[in-house]
Amino acid sequence: MVPRYLVNFDAVKIDKVITDVVVVGSGIAGLTAALEISKQFDVALVTKSELKETATWYAQGGVATAISSEDSPKLHLRDTLEAGAGLCNRDAVDVLVSDGPDRIGELIRLGTEFDWHGDRIGLSREGGHSLARILHSGDTTGSEIEATLIRTANAWQSVQVFEHRFSLDILTDNGRCVGILCLDEPTGRLVLHLAKAVVLAAGGAGQLFSITTNPPISTGDGMAMAYRAGAILADMEFIQFHPTALDQDSMPRFLITEALRGDGAFLRDCNGERFMVGRHPLAELAPRDVVTREMVNIMQRCGDDPVYLDATHIPEAVLKERFPNIWNHCSVNGINIAKDLIPVRPAAHYTIGGVKTDLNGETIIPGLYATGEVACTGVHGANRLASNSLLEGLVFSKHIANLIMHELSAEENGPVLEFKLEYRMERPQIDLNIERERRWLQRLMTDYVGVVRSEKGLEFAISQLKERDRILRAQFKSLAGFELQNMLCIAGLVARSALARRESRGVHYREDYPEPSDDWVTHLEHHFTEDAVAG
Ligand code: SIN
């Protein structure tokens, strides 16, 4: 039996913080929700690490939005649906592309400095976009947005921030979400955050793989705790790999933004050939699943040599001005991108599936909302269009905030937050090298649940995960142990969905079923039961 909660607890005996709303996660989605809701209600923002240690901070390329005179939300919708390979929720995409320009306007009013060319905002192009529509701030767009939102939260002093507080589980009472159970890392104490609404914005699960652009915090915690609480997880088989992460040992892998290819960089194989020409009409700017798979083939043919990005024909001044972060990072690593080829490999980049929500971010658990990478709103379908994710966080967090403010304003006294809740279960203590186990899991997922999948490989991965069931039942005390339990839980769901989907679609590629099938224009969902096993 898999426990409903990661730890045993007695709510009566734990320290409590009571606010109107708790937001879990401090990337663009969490900060946007927190700032909006705090205009009317008390908000506690709980985050696992430092405020800025989020996937948003590392986002380079930018935010896709239809703002140019040649563009329109309709064209943005068309490109998003095309990338999503038949599985996008059209209504959700409509909300994304229609609300986008207004949300970007708000970000600019808060002080976000996007790049301008004279009196026009600078727009770049990335894979799958039919024209230039990516707003950017050099090649550190995510950190510019994150810094703006953090500055705003500090200036307004309206959001109570709890850093280094790890959310263990969503508390439910009579089927309603009443708060979250946390581990306060510095003190090692359990803390209950009680609230009338919880907004989950806890990011993705890129750390399931050995090579990822995601920071170490991206361990799927939000998905795992929502799952244990009874929310639906959907589309978990769709893991997006970014083709061009710098081929070096650091983790997270340093991303070389797709915008570099948008500005003209080529991809070359170990013999110096441009291999994407003739493989896809958009060549290097084909959707990233197409580029990634082609790279995997090329690397196999080249004896596992990396692939090379060639920006040497782009003027040095342009490279320095437009991509200062990449310029500096590569220089420090001995690569002069104006003269040298840049070695790159694919890396796990984005978890497309997640906690299923409606257009207002509501989950099936009353009082629980999800937004950003942790959520599955349906906008990405089977393949996320580049630079749509920051926009998704902005747009849907605003909808969530509006709904929560409306609902809380309508409540006379709000739901009663006093409840008696105790959870006890026999849990073995196990002696485990957690770090080694995490690396083992990442290797397993990379080898058998990565870019190219097969029935045999997936069945093997699932059987290996099943053997780790005892870890899910064990009692850990450290954050690393809880992360491992969450990662095992989510890895099992990704592998099971990937095995079930007997076709190739979007980012999910099965070498034994290499074509899409009309039978599979559908979504796979997971519901937790305490009888579930990891695999
Ligand atoms: C990039 O800059 O290439 C990443 C953009 C994204 O993942 O949307």
Q: Ligand 1 atom closest to Cα of 350?
A: 7
Distance 218 CA to ligand 1 centre (A): 16
The rounded Å distance from CA 186 to ligand 1 centre is 34
- Record the pTM: 0.95
Residue 308 confidence (pLDDT) above 60: yes
What is the CATH class of 427-523? mainly alpha
4/14 Cα distance (integer angstroms): 18
Separation between Cα atoms, residue 315 and residue 335, nearest integer Å:
16
Residues with a known catalytic role: 288
**CATH class entry, domain 9-238+350-410:** alpha beta
Note the Cα 406 to chain centre separation in Å.
Answer: 28
What is the model's pLDDT at position 533? 44
Cα(59) to centroid(ligand 1), Å? 6
Taking residues 222-232, what's their average pLDDT? 97
**Does 414 score more than 60 pLDDT?**
no
Flag whether pLDDT at 280 surpasses 70: yes
- Residues framing ligand 1 (Cβ under 6 A): 60-61, 257-259, 349, 386-387, 389
Output the residue whose Cα is nearest ligand 1's atom 2: 61
Which of the four pLDDT bands, split at 50, 70 and 90, describes residue 412? low
Sequence letter at residue 262: G
pLDDT for 534: 42
Q: What are 423-476's pLDDT values in tens digits?
A: 998 888 888 999 999 999 999 999 999 999 999 999 999 999 999 999 999 999
Strand 159-162, strand 165-173: pairing:
unpaired
Please state the atom number of ligand 1 nearest to the C-alpha of residue 258: 3
Structure token pair of residue 268: 């070359």
Q: What's the mean pLDDT in 392-396?
A: 98
Q: Average pLDDT for residues 298-326, to the nearest whole number?
A: 96
pLDDT digit string (tens) for 167-217?
999 999 989 999 999 999 999 999 999 999 999 999 999 999 999 999 999
Hey, where are the domains in the chain? 9-238+350-410, 427-523
Per-residue pLDDT band for 417 (boundaries 50, 70, 90) equals low
Residue of minimum CA distance from atom 4 in ligand 1: 61
Q: Confirm if 33 and 201 have CB atoms less than 8 A apart.
A: yes
Predicted confidence band of residue 535 (pLDDT cuts 50, 70, 90):
very low
* Closest C-alpha to ligand 1, atom 8: 387
How far apart (Å, rounded) are the C-alpha atoms in residues 496 and 449? 10
Ligand 1 center from residue 257 Cα (angstroms):
6
Question: Cα of 204 to ligand 1 centre, how many Å?
Answer: 15
Average pLDDT, rounded, for the chain: 94
The residues, ordered by sequence, that sit 6+ positions from 472 with a Cβ below 8 Å of its Cβ are: 2, 3, 485, 488, 489, 534
Mutate to test the pocket of ligand 1, among 349, 379, 385 (most ligand atoms within 8 A of CB): 349
For residue 287, what pLDDT band results from cuts at 50, 70 and 90? confident
Atom of ligand 1 nearest to the CA of 349: 7
Mean pLDDT of 40-66: 95
Residue 500 pLDDT exceeds 70: yes
389 CA: nearest ligand 1 atom: 8
Has residue 512 got a pLDDT over 50? Answer: yes
